[in-house]
Structure 1
Amino acid sequence: MDGQTLHTTKQLQTAGRGDRVARTRESIVASALALATAGQVAPIVRDIAQMAGVSARTVFQHFADTAELYVAVLGRVLAALVGESKELAAVGPVEQRIAAMINQCADRYEQLRPMWTFVETLQRRSPEAADMISQIYSANTANLSQAFAPELAALPAESRQRALTALALAIAPESWVVLRQRLNLSVEQAREELGFVVKSVFATEAARR
């Protein structure tokens, strides 16, 4: 075997090992995500390993501890949610934009809801997870600022930030969880309630002018 062939063979072997490592890691993360989505607040390694078809030792070969694994799971979820959201332009009737905003948030949060306890617990324990969650709020605020720019600009300067804060609070993930799980509202009822709150914010602040 000449030098070039040997080099190529080694490259292929390395690539093959890399693919196996990536597939194993993906299987572990997917299994932990499935357990979290099923309602487990802190999926245990034994169950994760069994679902992924690997040993517990293999799990810890890929992740330093469960916290690192959980953060990887959260990153997967949030990346999908952020990727699915679209920036809303400030065009069309305000009622139409409110409905579009509520529908977008409802679709995203309904996916997140089954594992919200997992998310809340993780962000209390991990600064990295907390930072990741804060990205949702930042994205929401930026989207609100853009989608309702004409309405916000029409408010007195001292009212704009207050209105924006109230809107961000209304469409926060926690608000959706409260409506759906604490108040036992249907998806449609929760959408209607959020729409009512958002419209009320604009009406209240406009009345202050």
Structure 2
Amino acid sequence: MTAILAPDIAIDESREADGRRERSRSSRARIVSAMLELVGNGDVSPSAARVAEVAGVGLRSVFRHFDDMDALYREMCDAIEAKVIPIIMEVPRGDTWKERMLYTADKRARVFEAILPYRISANLKRFQSEFLMQDYKRMLRLESESLDAQLPPSVRDDKLGARAINVILSFQTWRLLRHDQELPVTDACAVVRRLLEDAMAKLPER
């Protein structure tokens, strides 16, 4: 009799284990989704308790899936980065470096707008998190290097001119226009484009 029941018991245990894993994955996904929702709606520093409330899970569940809030921020950053990668990977269009730079300005506006609340939140927390501080420095480096790669040598040699373009097309400038000055997207884009065109007018064509 035992030999007959054993396979059924094994199947039940397997199903139970699969169910636990699925519930765990669902719980984790709801926690990350809650974090994204809260930050996206303007709560730049949500508590673990608030995340748990929105996710519909217990507070202990949050820390069962994430060792600390730093780990949850890391997951949030990964989710947002995955969202904007297709835009980032677009090849700039234009026959001249100046045309390509204007295209890049429009592309960055789309990226920065998509990540605005999340990057503000991460920037506020970076002084308390080694991961977020290193990620902040990584993003600054990537922004700068991707622009430098599009500049002709004559412009890269003009350190002040190249730095001006870097500042104009930085996230900090976009944050200042959209968050601090509360400009609409269209107006913020127009300001960036005007600054960029003025800066490039003083630089060589090739």
TM over 0.5: yes
TM-score (norm 1): 0.80
Q: Distance in 2 between matches of 1:204 and 1:173?
A: 23
| Corresponding letter in the other structure for 1:194 | V
> The residue matched to 1:154 in structure 2 has which SS?
helix
Q: Distance in 2 between matches of 1:72 and 1:91?
A: 36
Aligned-residue CA RMSD (Å): 2.9
Q: Map residues 159-170 of structure 1 onto 2, 5 A cutoff.
A: 159=158, 161-170=159-168
C-alpha distance after superposition, 1:4-23 (max 9, x if no partner): 88767655544443232122
Shift of residue 121, structure 1, vs aligned partner: 1.1
TM-score (norm 2): 0.81
C-alpha distance after superposition, 1:11-54 (max 9, x if no partner): 55444432321221111011011111111122122221121111
Runs of 4+ in 1 over 4 A off after TM superposition: 1-13
Q: Which moved more, 1:85-94 or 1:130-139?
A: 85-94
Q: Distance in 1 between matches of 2:94 and 2:6?
A: 64
Q: Which moved more, 1:83-92 or 1:175-184?
A: 83-92
Pick aligned residue for 1:44 from 25, 42, 47: 47
C-alpha distance after superposition, 1:120-164 (max 9, x if no partner): 212222121122233333332333234x34xx2234x641x4433
| Corresponding letter in the other structure for 2:127 | R
Q: How many residues align?
A: 203
Is the 8 Å Cα contact of residues 106 and 189 (structure 2) preserved in structure 1? yes
C-alpha distance after superposition, 1:147-191 (max 9, x if no partner): x34xx2234x641x4433332222111110111232332212211
Q: Which moved more, 1:22-31 or 1:178-187?
A: 178-187
Q: Map residues 112-151 of structure 1 onto 2, 5 A cutoff.
A: 112-146=115-149, 148-149=150-151
Structure 2: give runs of 5+ residues left out of the alignment. none
Match in the other structure for 2:24: 21
| Corresponding letter in the other structure for 2:190 | E
> The residue matched to 2:202 in structure 1 has which SS?
helix
Is the 8 Å Cα contact of residues 109 and 174 (structure 2) preserved in structure 1? yes
Pick aligned residue for 2:73 from 58, 62, 70: 70
Percent identity between the two aligned chains: 19
Structure 1: give runs of 5+ residues left out of the alignment. none
